[in-house]
Amino acid sequence: MKKKKKGLLVVISGPSGVGKSTVVRKLLKLCAECKLSISSTTRPKRPTEDHGSDYFFLSEEEFFDREKKGEFLEWAKVHGYYYGTPRSYIEGELDKGNTVVLEVDVQGAASIKDQAAKGRIKSSSQVFVFLIPPSVDILAFRLKKRKTEKAEEQNYRLRAAIAELQVMEKYDYIVVNDRVESAAEKIKAIINVEKERMLIN
């Protein structure tokens, strides 16, 4: 009997302002077989974002209605807003043996790692990738360059980002985002290595 192909869940995390979304968009162009999981959030939509492709933008009432129904694989409050990972899409694609890319904050990654350790993510292997900036100065520059938050919130995010850098040793791989193309190519190489490992195991 042929062994069922397992899906690969690729969790990409890192501090606020490191460029996770930009790197993930580039990765999806390099990795045709990768499927993007779109998170839900109560955060206001930025001018460059679209509902349903960047995030599912929900009111707090909608968010908690879905949470009560068990629709999120994980959820957390980050910088005053709620973020959640829809369960059904991820588990459906993993069950088909596909590679699912999930971009989450540090709290979300920790929650997913905990769920995986307890065997609550079926039909999958997981790999956790932590994206870091070349330096803290560059991280501060990127946060200010976004111009999507007030100075007070930018400073709060920078302090939080520096604190988040302390958890990088808990990840399987650390990738420096010095250039978007280079970072995306490194993550694609990691995916190839992990898929080969799954074939052996």
pLDDT digits over 86-118, tens only? 988 898 899 888 999 999 988 889 999 998 888
Residue 48 in any domain: the answer is no
Q: Are strands 124-132 and 34-37 parallel, antiparallel or unpaired?
A: unpaired
What pTM value is reported for the model?
Answer: 0.82
Percent of the chain's residues with pLDDT above 90: 49
- Domain coverage including residue 185: 7-37+97-200
- 43 — alpha (psi -120 to 50), left (phi > 0) or beta? beta
CATH number reported for the structural domain that contains residue 32 in this entry: 3.40.50.300
* Average per-residue pLDDT for the chain: 87
d(CA 89, CA 95): 10
Percent of the chain's residues with pLDDT above 70: 90
In Å, what is the CA distance from 123 to each residue of 70, 118, 139, 151, 183?
A: 19, 13, 36, 44, 28
Residue 172 in any domain: the answer is yes
Residue 174 in any domain: the answer is yes
Residue 32 in any domain: the answer is yes
Residue 112 in any domain: the answer is yes
Sequence-separated (6 or more) residues with CB below 8 Å from residue 162: 15, 136, 139
Residue 87 in any domain: the answer is no
Residue 105 in any domain: the answer is yes
Answer yes or no: is pLDDT of 19 > 80: yes
The confidence band for 15, taking pLDDT boundaries of 50, 70 and 90, is confident
Answer yes or no: is pLDDT of 146 > 70: no
pLDDT digits over 51-77, tens only? 988 899 999 999 999 999 999 988 988
- The whole-number average pLDDT for the span 131-137 is 81
- Give yes or no for a contact between 102 and 11, defined as CB atoms under 8 angstroms apart: yes
Counting the structural domains of the chain, the total is: 1
The residues that bridge with 29 in the sheet, in sequence order, are none
Residue 129 in any domain: the answer is yes
